[in-house]
Amino acid sequence: MPEQITELLRKSQLSVTDSRKKILELFLQSDSALAHHDIEVRTKEKFDRVTVYRTLQTFMDKGIIHTIPTTDNSIKYALCKDSCEQGHHHDDHVHFICSLCGTTTCLEEIHIPEIKLPRGYKTTQTEVIVSGICKLCS
């Protein structure tokens, strides 16, 4: 996994720093989306809030992660697919939020259908959030 992390950072034209490597490792090891707080708690090396925030923002800008809105207006982050790139995300899939455990999962196998908007409207992003009970809580 260390080679995969280094390669992804270099492909995105980012310096390979300890904070970036550790935070990216958390995303690669996680089966669900992570909140800013999750990252602060789960990293063995304690990075300050600003470092975590800047790293997340950089990863979003470079197309490494995408945001997922939640029902409580907080933000979670998940890894992008390979087709995302700097300034242009292609994560048109459903996000599932478990109402029991609070886990947010990308359901990449369920794609959002193209939405035909009236003339003069242009889609920049479509988000679909499904709430319910996840397979672990069922």
On whether the CB atoms of residues 81 and 91 are closer than 8 A, the answer is yes
Task: Give, to the nearest 10 degrees, the angle between helix 18-29 and helix 49-61.
Answer: 70
- In whole numbers, what is the pLDDT of the chain averaged over residues? 85
CB atoms within 10 A of CB 91: 22
Determine the distance from the C-alpha atom of residue 32 to the mean position of all C-alpha atoms in its chain, rounded to a whole number: 9
Q: What is the pLDDT of residue 43?
A: 81
CATH architecture of 2-132: Orthogonal Bundle (1.10)
Give the model confidence (pLDDT) of 54-105 as tens digits. Answer: 999 999 888 899 888 777 778 899 888 765 655 555 567 788 999 999 888 8
Single pTM value for the model: 0.76
Q: What is the dihedral of CA 22, 24, 27, 28, to 10 degrees?
A: -100
On whether the CB atoms of residues 82 and 74 are closer than 8 A, the answer is no
Measured distance CA(21)–CA(16) in Å, rounded: 7
Above 90 in pLDDT, residue 119? yes
Q: What are the residue ranges spanned by the domains of the chain?
A: 2-132
